[in-house]
A = this chain, B = another copy of it.
Amino acid sequence: MTQIRVLNQAMVKEVLSLKETIQTVEDVYRGKANETSTLWPMIFYEFDPGKADMDIKSGYMKELGIYGLKLVSWYGSNPQQQLPALFGTTMLFDDQTGAPLGIVDAEYITGMRTGAAAAIGSKYLARADSETLLMVGTGHQALFQLLSHLLVIPNLKQLLIYNPLAQEQAAAFAANCKEQLLHLLDQPKIKEDQIEVREKIAQLQIRAVEDIASATGEADIVVTATPSKQPLIQADWVKPGTHFSCVGADMSGKQEIDGAIFQQARLFVDDRNQAIAVGETEQPIKQGFINETAIQGEIGEVILGRVAGRISNEDITIYDTTGIALQDLAVTKQVLDAAKKNEIGQVVDL
Contacts and interface: CB of A to CB of B under 8 A. Distances in A.
B41 A89 contact: no
Interface string A319-350: 00000000000000000000000000010111
Interface in A180-225: none
A52 interface: yes
Interface stretch (A75-83, A137-145, A244-252): A75-83
Contact of A87 (B54, B74, B98, B346): B98
Contacts of A10: 1
Nearest to A104: B350
A348 B348 CA distance: 9
Interface string A273-306: 0000000000000000000000000000000000
B98 A93 contact: no
A47 B346 contact: no
7 contacts: A45-B67, A52-B98, A56-B69, A73-B98, A73-B99, A78-B98, A348-B348
Interface of A: 1-2, 4, 6, 8-10, 38, 40-41, 43, 45, 47, 52, 54, 56, 58, 60, 67, 69, 71, 73-75, 78, 81, 83, 86-87, 89, 91, 93, 95-100, 103, 105, 346, 348-350
